[in-house]
Amino acid sequence: MAVHIQQAIEVGKYIVSQRLKGRKKYALTLMLEPLFRCNLACSGCGKIQHPVEILKQNLTPEECFAAAEECGAPVVAIPGGEPLLHPQIDEIVRGLVARRKFVYLCTNGILLEKSLDKFEPSPYFAFSVHLDGLREHHDRCVDRKGVFDIAVKAIKAAKARGFRVTTNTTIFEGTDPKEMQAFFDFLTELNVDGMMISPGYSYEWAPDQEHFLKREQTRALFREIMAPYRAGKKNWNFNHNPLFLDFLTGEKDYECTPWGMPSYSVLGWQKPCYLLNEGHVKTYQELLESTDWDQYGRASGNPKCQDCMVHCGYEPTAATDAMEPQNMVRALGSVLSLSR
């Protein structure tokens, strides 16, 4: 688990270097979408709603490397679509790892086990498997029975081969806190290398627009879910800065950092962020310079931003806040606890 220390140190050094250069806006994680195609139709996503001509397109490895180098982020998350459908995904991962990026390949797990031979374990690489809960709940979220069991089997196979495996979970309105706690217990027994959690946001392409959380709902639900963890009764392994978890439970109040996790896809750099689709530009610099950032985030009054508490906007804020002297001890303590 020492990779958590390594990643935390590298990200911390990167933040310091950006500050020394006088930069106020910089990327921490690149959301790299090499394709929008998927073998599922999850109700909370909707990427496959894109036109057929868009769904047929792939980013080339060279385009992926250029985007990573252009924005300079030390971490690259590869969502989709389903990245394992990309015919050159192994080449993309190898190239990013060679550039010493911390790579998280997000997958629903259906193709994971049969794809393991394409990849090599590395402290810079992890599979991030989408699991939204225990069997019945998850299969309902992805609208297909049996996916939970396939994904869990693939996680076990990947772990047996020496790969780092994390999970990513979106929590929606109506989630049973006790069921979610049981799910975290299950993942702990599965020995995953970290759990990532985020409240759902009303992504405009998503078919289901009725179960996204409002801000106060998010805080109340996460306080209830996280109560045993915060009381020290559970040792769940979250792959998050602890300050972001404080934000979810209402103990911290942050403003969004929308440029902190820029999204690059076959359409270009998405304005203004991964969740709001207000056009695309050709370069990351153009994204920074052509976007009126004052029009986004809760303080702006933009109604689209008022209830968003998603990691892609707020985890960069928490990471930057962790560099403040009063927060460094807590953040470092959390990282060290993961390495035991």
**Residue 311 · residue 196 · CB < 8 Å:** yes
Mean pLDDT of all residues belonging to the chain: 90
Which range is least confidently modeled, 40-54, 154-168, 200-214, 266-280? 200-214
In order of 296, 314, 321, the CA distances from 257 in angstroms are 9, 6, 11
Q: What's the pLDDT tens digit per position in 88-110?
A: 999 999 999 999 999 999 999 99
Q: What's the pLDDT tens digit per position in 264-286?
A: 999 999 999 988 889 999 999 99
pLDDT of residue 271: 96
Strand order from edge to edge, sheet including 102-107:
195-199, 164-171, 125-130, 102-107, 75-78, 29-32, 263-265, 268-272, 277-281
Helices (H), the chain: 3-20, 52-55, 61-71, 89-98, 112-115, 135-142, 147-160, 177-190, 215-230, 242-248, 284-290, 311-321, 325-338
Confidence category of residue 200, pLDDT binned at 50, 70, 90: confident
For residue 321, pLDDT beyond 80: yes
What is the pLDDT averaged over residues 63-89? 97
pLDDT of residue 212: 56
Q: What's the pLDDT tens digit per position in 165-178?
A: 999 999 988 899 99
pLDDT of residue 196: 96
Angle (CA) 276 184 202, round 5°:
15
Q: What's the pLDDT tens digit per position in 111-145?
A: 999 999 999 999 999 999 999 999 999 999 998 99
pLDDT of residue 211: 47
SS3 of 70, please? Answer: helix
The yes or no reply on domain 3-338 and CATH 3.20.20.70 is: yes
What is the pLDDT averaged over residues 200-214? 57
